[in-house]
Structure 1
Amino acid sequence: MCLTPSRAVLLLTATVLTAVVGLRASTFAETPAASASADRQEKPPAGQEKPATQAGSSPKPQAPSPEQPVFRTGINFIRVDAIVSDNKGNPVTDLKIEDFEISEDGKPQKPETLRLVKIDATTGPSYTQRTIRTRLDEETAASDETSRIFVFFLDDYAVRRENSMAVRKPLIDFITTELAPNDLISVMYPLTPIDAVTLTRNHQGVINAIEKFEGRKYNYDPINEVERQYVYKLTPDVIERLRRQVSLGAIRGIVTKLGSLREGRKSLIMVSEGYSATLPPQMRSDQPGGFGDSGRATRDPFAGDNNPMEDRVQFTASLDLLSELQDVFNAANRHNTSIYPVDPRRLSTGEFDITANISGSTSQGYLASSTDSLRSLAENTDGRAIVNQNDLGPGLKQIVRDASAYYLIGYTSTQAPMDGKFHAIRVRVKRPGVQVRARKGYWAYTEADARRAEAGPRTGPPTAVAKALATITPLTNRRYVRTWMGTGRGANGLARVTFLWEPLPPTPGIRRDEARRVTLLATTLAGDIVYRGRLPVTLAPTGQGAAISFDAKPGKLDLRLTIEGDGTGTLDTEDRELMVPDLSTPELMLGTPKLWFARSAREFTALAATVEAPPTATREFRRTDRLLIRVEAFGPGAEPPTVMARLLNQQGNKMNDIVVTPPATPGAAHTVDLPLASYSTGQFLLELSANGEGHKPVTELVAFRIGT
């Protein structure tokens, strides 16, 4: 096989790069590990990667019991996860702490704690799982160590169309047969925003996305506005380099997010044909996007062979590629995420077919260098490369094995470094005939890190404010609809419940069906059906939603939402809970605030003149918008309650008072006219409070975001 300059650089530096990866120091709570998640680390506050512990000291260890290890905290306490397997790839699960040897920077360390994390995929959780709708739900789910985490990175920039179609079935079979219902998964493309990637237990939703996976390697026809901005301006070689940087940057972003959700092991399943430093001469062109005549090199299959100038170009470009890969290695190991590249090319004799008019030696060299890039990503992040295999199933099964059984080993560093540098770790097992794969090292704390940890987390907003802001967390690509539910006073002591949904706009880089109808089932705790119906009965027009109102008795309702597409079946399901208040009691109460927005004076006049229009579910607006808020207030006496409003910032501090217009007729809603032109972009809250003589004031918070 031809050894190209780019492959030579990869091979020469593989050993060095294996040692130049990082991991974050871990901490343990100083309590016995009573369960599989007893030593789980608390998540640090936003912007602070490392745990809040006091610098320079490590508490004295307590005597461990024979059954349960004691886990400690301290800035010098390091945790390493290690996978131990036999020569058949099966996990070895009967090792003891004395079987392990650990060295840091070549100096022996004494293992102090050992715990086997073993996940039985056939055993479901013993508790009721909440539907993941917010960042808090995602963090709570990820903190459960019995839930394995897998993210599918579908690199359509680095996969040919025919190969993407062939890899769909193995990936779908892997999800349906190997993953447990408790496992958290997600899917991502290179252009998917990081905040649009949310872990979910809705495996069918991820399968739907994989079914639409379509590779576009060497296809420069733009499919979104982002690509239109550059594809007609840049040459193919530059486009390929830009696409590679976008893909690797997206990988760095997602592993960083995964590291913020859990300290333990995570798996990134990366579907890609690998990366090359440059295009071969036959595919280069001085025409933007490669549209037009590429020149004489295209007609010479041996262009670049045995050419010292071409070798220098390849060598220089390979150094850039290795620098980009090293950034991925560092990010993945720092956040304890293993990368498992899956090459959909299967067994192949070359990177290009005969129609490309490229010599066999050049084609073999590009195949080898791109495959080596996948191997480097796996080897340097404690993953496995599934390459050169016609049957991807066994390799995908090994991913599950790696995430299902591993050891957590803890020790106190005798060097106690506070230099902010990388310190290599080596884990060995005394038992012969076993293979050990472990994290390669960690980045030590700096004095500045210790000071920040000592200062502790910043005081956040009040609980009510934080809860309100959580409702406007940007919805992710796995969500198909935006919903709103509100209650008001109905007849005969019942409450009037209103439910509406709106389709979410498509996310750039994500291809999926659009929601056209929602089936709503509302039941009481006893199982009695309060409402069941389709919204609307026929499919809604593209871009439109629907609303419905029904009466319900006060109490808790369980809601099941089934989102349907354009006749292709169920897209998603969601479970909600709604507490219906008793608005007929002689107490001071507020109904659910309803919100509309207008983008012109005429629109606002029309909204203000009617009370029949359904409100909006969106809570993100422009500075040119004008909000109309209506809220009903109920009091025990004949005198109507007084309603006041204040605008708060995202910390819950008052910005200014807002005028509230009382109703012209008794029993109608109070109204607020809130133009947004005078406010900057950011998150805000409208605090509505009702006051009545002899009664404690009641408040409602309406959170919203002003964007560009």
Structure 2
Amino acid sequence: MGKFSSIKIVFLLSLFFSVSVFAQTPQPSPTPPPTDDDVVKITTKLVQFDAVVTDKDGNQVRDLNIADFEVLQDGKPQKITNFSYINTESPAQSSPVTTIKNGKNVVLPPARVRPEISGRILTFIVDDGNCTASQIGMTAAREALIKFVNEQMLPNDLVSIYQTRGGSSLLQQYTSDKTQLMRAARRIRWYPPQGSCVSYNGDFFEPTREDSTGKRTGQGSFETDANRKTREQIEDSIRDNQAVGTIGVIRYVVRGLGKISGRKVVFLLSDGLPLRTREGINRQAFDALRDLTDAANRASVVFNTIDVRGGISYSPQGNDEGGSAVEKRIREVRVTRDGLFHLAEETGGVFYKEQNFLDVPIRRALSLEKGYYLIGYEPDDETFKSKDFNKIEIKLKRPDLKISSRAGFLGRTDNETAPKKRTGDGELYEAIVAPLPRAGLNVRLSAFFANDAAQGNVVRSLVHLDGGELMFVDDANGFKKAVFDVVAVTLNEKNEVVDEFNRTHTFKIEAAAMPLIKQNGLIYTTDVPIKKAGNYNFRLAVRDAGSKMLGSASQIIQVPDLKKSKIFLSGLTVSQVDANGKFVAPSAVKPENALSLTDSAATPAIRRFRPNSILAYAYTLYNARADKTTNQPKLTVQVNLYRDGKIISEGKPQTPELEKPSDPSRINDYGYLRLNANIEKGDYALQIIVKDLLTNETTSQWIDFEVGN
């Protein structure tokens, strides 16, 4: 085992903490949302919608009262019985430092987002599975998302990126980690059409077609009337299937967001969502969209839609016949925008078009998410006797202001549309596929890549179960007993399950140990073998059989290809040092020993430290290059400390002291940090950056921890 000289690092951090303890200014908390988590309600006793009001400059207006509004259902005035303004604006804060001086492989630690203080929940859907997806549009979408992550994303945002082209489980993970999101955004690109989409080549408009035996049709192409009719029928069929398919993917996103409380914002970036054919309205697509918007409204989801094609030129091109070609293009663009307009209009969002820089509408839409009005009324007896659509109009009595609200609802109550509650294993698997961790049993997951000669590649997971929520029952001989059901799946980038398990564990303990469990909880440890390199999504759900409480967690883990000889740092853990200078390091355990008791919260799974304590950090470095003369690696190590996503102590690269002989292909190393007695309580992240001076390669990893009582 190697050992880093960390005396200077301990001193510098202790000195910093002693002067920074008074540097933090408390920030005012935003107005909390109502205790009832439902924003939109559709019941026989109350219909309630959210609305946003802006002035002529697009700024949100937040000081209106009930007398400024009027509500109509199907043209009939309604008496407003519920009215409030919910402030959701977070305290002013800047994004974490993103300047990277040590190389592109440095992973920046995000601020830890606690469920009880999380900020905006933002979803981006890139419609790259659309037959008419263009090269320019997909490029613009990619650049907009990269810019959002770099410049607009706040530390406590939870963000996910979906793609309609099959999608990736990695992109369906809500996270505040900018590194993961940047990786997802950079993968967005235009792909050549496949299957029924082969007639599209990535341009905005259909290409000019030639048929030397046919006559000129007046539409800018050469083809017979019979060929034209056949082509149009095929294109209409493709459009129908494409629109319904895209709506299906969006419906999947909405279904997941419906399990999350509060108002949620979704951005759809697309080249178009047509609802009409040459024969008129595409009834199948229109009905699918109406069902989607109704589900989105009940789930309190707002859609902002963006035409990614930017400013469109309608000028004649090539052999086009002037006016007729321009009219055709205008009509074609209008048709493709129908669905985008209606999706935003029906859910209280905004449709943005003719935007050459797509980060601008994203910024504009988010500027409106500072709060919203809740406006409700008691519906009459006729409202739910028919399943027809009920049109809602929320109007302002001040003509100088503009309101954005939802368009209405189908004549069904929330109870009729709510999914059936699952029980047994179905409930566990439902928790696993949920877009955000299941609220209930407090489950905290810490997972990382590990490798050894015996096991090969594994994902090692440490799960902390909050002891204050666990239910133990009396057992024989003065013991206490608890039973836990655990389900876990590991997904690859194609959303394929590469490993899963379903286990039931019975944990027995002497009654005298119960106070320790209540204080520190239990640790669940498991290893999952991984054969191939790549990025994986490990998802886990735990249910306490006694209390029936259930919790879930998930994490993205990068599994490197160690055969490519690139340097890689993994397995970074922190734990407290005991009086003898020793500390706990995670190791492999058998499934029957997965649950364990801990006598301290300063362990790798919990990571809660007291002021004035010494913590040890340990990690494994793979594939360091050995010097041909000394057979030893030449490395530098830098230790940085972050608080709430902001760097507060930047260490200098130091040369590690490695014990000889050392195997450069697998170096286990550690160091120490002393926390000052006056350190401010809160969430921190420790970052380790290692540079191989022989290959000029850099690798890094971070781990979060808490300082408290």
TM-score of the two chains, using structure 1 as the length reference: 0.50
Q: Which has the higher contact order (CA 8 A, sep 6+)?
A: 2
Taking structure 2 as the reference length, the TM-score comes to 0.50
